[in-house]
Each structure stands twice: as structure tokens, then as C-alpha cells.
Amino acid sequence: MLNVSFLKKEIKESVKTSRILILLALFVFFAIVSSLTARYMNELLSLMSTDIIITFPEPTLTDAWMQFFKNTSSLCLIVYLIMMTGTVAQEKAKGSIMLVLTKRVSRFNFLFSKFVGGVVIFSVCYAASILVSGLYTQILFSGFAYDGLGMSLLLFWMMGVFFTAVAVFASVISKTPTTAALLGFAAYALFSILNTIRGFSQYNPAGASALVNEILQGGSTTSSQLICLAVTAVAAILMFSAGYGVFKKQEI
């Protein structure tokens, strides 16, 4: 069972420490930059290559979304992941975890609240960036939707849920926030490398970035998208379960 009061405490703590505000500002900033970059990239490239006449294709709204997903899956997700890896490790380092676990909060409730709190924070930041990106794309390209937009957004959200579980796991097995952050980044790099294997993205919990590019180019199938969603959901459950299995046996 989820301890709602402890979850509220986690979210309030994120606001108090400005963690959610920093992430929100980051997500929204790159949502704006993505649309602007896609719209005016040709002009910028033309200014940089004054000696050579180059003809660039006219940018479209899919270019804006491609830039949005690229920024979200790299810069935004990495910063979010690193911040989340300190959730448990930081409390262990400070010793505050003992006070929490002695106040009728089970280890499962403690860890599950950390995970759900992370998903809530990611969802809020992600939703805000989608709204901002959609608004700017509509203004700059007189439209914002393309075939497969809903599935693209869902795939990326599920990938965020998975990396939340990865962050919690890394935080559990680490003694310091620094070690947890390094492990989290290593996991991100590993799953990103797996996307380079041809045809493997649908079986990769972080395969959303590759599949969305295929959707934008009209080359993705519904079956591969559904497989990726299922694989990512199962991987997130297994990753959290592994973290809890270690956490309940740890000496705090």
C-alpha cells in the first residue's frame, strides 16, 4: 500500500529544495528551444555558411517534435535521473532514513513513495514541456499534431517511469549520492548504446527515442510500439522489485 502522507511529504520536500522547480524550468526551457531551433535552423545555418550557397529543406512541425524528443531524452532525462539517484542514498548518508523508518513507515512504503514521487515529478515536468512545445509549434508551424503523436508521448513517458525505477535502484545499492549518480548515468549510457543495435529498440526499455524517430519518419509499426511499452513497463517493475529486494535486507 502507498503511504499517501509520506508521498505528500516527499513532494513537498521536492518543492522546498527547489528540485521540482529546477526540473520544471529545464524541461520548459528546452521545449521552447526545440521549436525555435527547428523553425530557424535554416536561417542560422545560412548565416554561418556565407561563402557557400546551400539549399535547405523547409522545416516542418515534425522537425520541431524531433528536436523536442531529442532534448527530452538526453539533457532533460539525464538531469532528472541524476537528481533522482540521490533520493535514498542522500538520506542514508545523512542518517535521516532511520528517523523515517522508525515512524511507522515500512521499508516498502518508504521506497515505493520515493518511486511514485519521482514519477509524479517527471510527469508534471513532462506534461508542462509538452504543452509549451505544442503551443510554440502551433504558433511557428500553424499546426502541432502528426500521426502517432499520442503514442510518441506515451512511449517517452513510460521510458521516464523506467528510469525512475533505475534511479531508485541505483540509490538503494549506493552508499553515497555521488556513487548513485555515476551508476545511474552508466545505466543510461548502456541502454542508449543498445538503441544502436538494429531492430533491438522495441525490446529495449529505453527504446522510445529510437522508435519515436521511426514514427516521425513513418517507418514504425504498431506491434513494435506496443512491445516496447510492455517491455518498458515490465522492466520498470522488475527494476523496482530488485531495488526493494536489496533494500529490505540492508542494514541501515
pLDDT per position as a tens digit, 107-165: 888 899 899 999 999 999 999 999 999 999 999 998 999 999 999 999 999 999 999 99
Give the largest Cα separation in the chain, rounded. 71
- Cα four-point dihedral sign 125, 130, 136, 139: negative
For residues 159 and 207, give the distance between their C-alpha atoms in angstroms, rounded to a whole number.
8
Count of helices and strands (H, E) across the chain: 11, 0
Q: What is the pLDDT of residues 171-200, one digit of tens each?
A: 999 988 999 999 999 999 999 999 888 889
Q: What is the pTM of this model?
A: 0.91
Nearest residue to 75 via CA among 37, 47, 45, 111: 37
**pLDDT-based confidence at residue 53 (cuts at 50, 70, 90):** low
Number of residues written out for the chain: 252
- CA–chain centroid gap for 86, Å, is 16
- CA–chain centroid gap for 100, Å, is 28
Hey, what's the cell of 129? 514541456
For residues 236 and 169, give the distance between their C-alpha atoms in angstroms, rounded to a whole number.
10
Nearest residue to 170 via CA among 146, 190, 150: 190
